[in-house]
Amino acid sequence: MRLAPALLAVLLSACGAPSAPDRGLGEAAAPRASFLASVRSAPEDAPPSAPPSAASSAPALPSIPAPKPPSGEGRAEAAERVLFLATHLRTDDLRKVCPAAMEEEARVRCLLSFRYADDAASRELVFTLYNETGSLAGLLPEETTSDGRGGKVRLLPARPVGANRQHLSWIIEAFRSYKSFAAAVGARGPISFRDRPVDFRFFYSEKGGMPSAFAATRNIGYNLFGALNMSDVTVRDTLFHELFHLNDGWRGDWSRRALAPIYDEIIARCGRRSACLSPYAPTDTKIAGVVYAFAPQGGVREYAAELALRYFREHRLVIDNEPLPARAFKCGPAENAAAWKLLSDEFFGGVDLVPPCGE
């Protein structure tokens, strides 16, 4: 199961997600002291991390050699926004440390190093993430959004430092797992599914543990207090779910075009009755007693993301020569096999390594 029993009612991801992180970047809360001091201030560090000490001078920037990750013109300016929530009104002091005249890639690294200057262990991990995936470990602007239960929840920017550093390790391991999966599947057919580079927008929820994560454009919002973000396995699964949402959007909401007929037929047959829906559900996660893949808040997009997660889970086991813990999804009702093939053909080159039904 994706959730412990006590957490089955938690809203998983894109349902009730905050608005796109690229909106309102200039609205982030920040201390009214100098900008250089504010980038190390306590409000950006979610409890239980200890507040980093403020230093009055710019830190020494270490030399961190690594292969050049995906980059491009304007990447450094994007890094200012992602890492510091900076706007054109808040970059003068920042550019004293990492001058705009620097070569693009060197400046991105300078900004990363400065952002995590007060936590050497976290800095090493964010560089590992960047070197391996091209992804930045940045901040979500402060905002208030739906909590998925008719209320509101305040989201606050936070860095994965101190006691929250473990999240970086889980994310790095997740992306290494995706790379192995893509290599094994890609060796048998051309896959269009992309998992990198995306930028992480870290935050914590002022109350409750949702949303755990959400996807928007090329960003993943990640809750350091997220109810799902509790282990390497749950983080790996949650992020793959979110990565599918990004891929689905990049392909013009493929799920709505391709899977809606199957989804609608299942809903017409079962309504929201879990006993009827369960054979069609790619995962056993539930929300408010309803199978998550068919929860009213999500629609076909959540069904598709859970289907992609099931594809990933089953193929990881096959690739590792491990038995499936349950009957293969495609070996259930005919609708399952049809949806499985549509997903495989669109995103994974038609590759299906799961043994045929009956074997």
- pLDDT tens digits, 174-216: 999 999 999 999 999 999 999 998 999 999 998 878 899 999 9
* 216, containing H or E segment: strand 213-216
In a domain, 211, yes or no: yes
Q: Are 75 and 202 within one domain?
A: yes
Task: State residue 116's pLDDT score.
Answer: 98
Among the candidates 202, 224, 250, a domain finishes at 250
Q: Are 168 and 285 within one domain?
A: no
- Asked whether 106 and 120 are in contact (CB, 8 A), the reply is no
Q: Are 246 and 297 within one domain?
A: no
Q: Are 111 and 178 within one domain?
A: yes
Q: Are 90 and 228 within one domain?
A: yes
In a domain, 223, yes or no: yes
Task: State residue 88's pLDDT score.
Answer: 62
Q: In the chain, which stretches have pLDDT less than 70?
A: 1-73, 88-89, 148-149
Q: Are 35 and 83 within one domain?
A: yes
Measured CA to CA, the distance from residue 127 to residue 134 in angstroms comes to 9
Give the total number of structural domains in the chain: 2
Task: State residue 208's pLDDT score.
Answer: 74
Task: State residue 66's pLDDT score.
Answer: 34
Task: State residue 89's pLDDT score.
Answer: 59
Q: Are 208 and 335 within one domain?
A: no
Task: State residue 45's pLDDT score.
Answer: 65
Domain limits for position 186: 5-250
> Which one, of 54, 49, 88, 13, lies nearest residue 244 by Cα?
13
pLDDT tens per residue, range 271-292: 989 999 999 999 998 887 889 9
Question: Using alpha carbons only, what angle is made at residue 13 by residues 7 and 17, rounded to the nearest 5 degrees?
Answer: 120
Q: Are 224 and 270 within one domain?
A: no
Q: Are 322 and 187 within one domain?
A: no
Q: Are 286 and 163 within one domain?
A: no
Task: State residue 72's pLDDT score.
Answer: 58
In a domain, 356, yes or no: no
Q: Are 244 and 308 within one domain?
A: no
Among the candidates 250, 272, 305, a domain finishes at 250
- What letter does residue 213 receive in the DSSP assignment? E
Among the candidates 185, 218, 250, a domain finishes at 250
Whether the CA torsion 273, 4, 44, 175 is positive or negative: it is negative
Task: State residue 324's pLDDT score.
Answer: 96
Question: Using alpha carbons only, what angle is made at residue 228 by residues 83 and 199, rounded to the nearest 5 degrees?
Answer: 25
Judged by DSSP in three states, 77 sits in helix
Q: Are 54 and 143 within one domain?
A: yes
- Asked whether 113 and 125 are in contact (CB, 8 A), the reply is no
Model pTM?
0.81
